[in-house]
Amino acid sequence: MLSKFSIEFIAFPHHGKQSFTHLTDDPIEAEDFLMHLLAARTRIVAIRHEGLAMNEAQFNRMLKVAAERIASALLAESLQLDASEIKARFGFAA
């Protein structure tokens, strides 16, 4: 049985081209994993949903959500803001 989400990435893009794959059935876990990949500056090669590569719009949407969650967490910590203040001031959902 295929995992619902499959994220292919290159952990050390400056040191080689070996790719790895993270599998999960949970969309929130997939977003969390993408957040970690973005924060670590890892090369994200592909995101698949139920075995099929996501189209560009779907791929971009998942990465945008992950990036906004990172930005919200950084703003909350750095500025001591709660979720509603972050939404009001910066437009990011927390």
Provide the pLDDT confidence category of residue 3 given band limits of 50, 70 and 90. confident
Please tell me the predicted confidence (pLDDT) of residue 85: 92
Choice between 42 and 13, residue whose per-residue pLDDT is larger:
42
What is the count of structural domains for the chain?
1
Task: State the Cα–Cα distance between residues 87 and 91, nearest whole angstrom.
Answer: 4
Task: State the Cα–Cα distance between residues 53 and 1, nearest whole angstrom.
Answer: 17
pLDDT tens digits for 30-71?
A: 999 999 999 999 999 999 999 999 999 999 999 999 999 999
pTM: 0.86
Structural domain boundaries enclosing 21: 5-90
Which tokens is 76 given? 């909350």
Provide the pLDDT confidence category of residue 94 given band limits of 50, 70 and 90. low
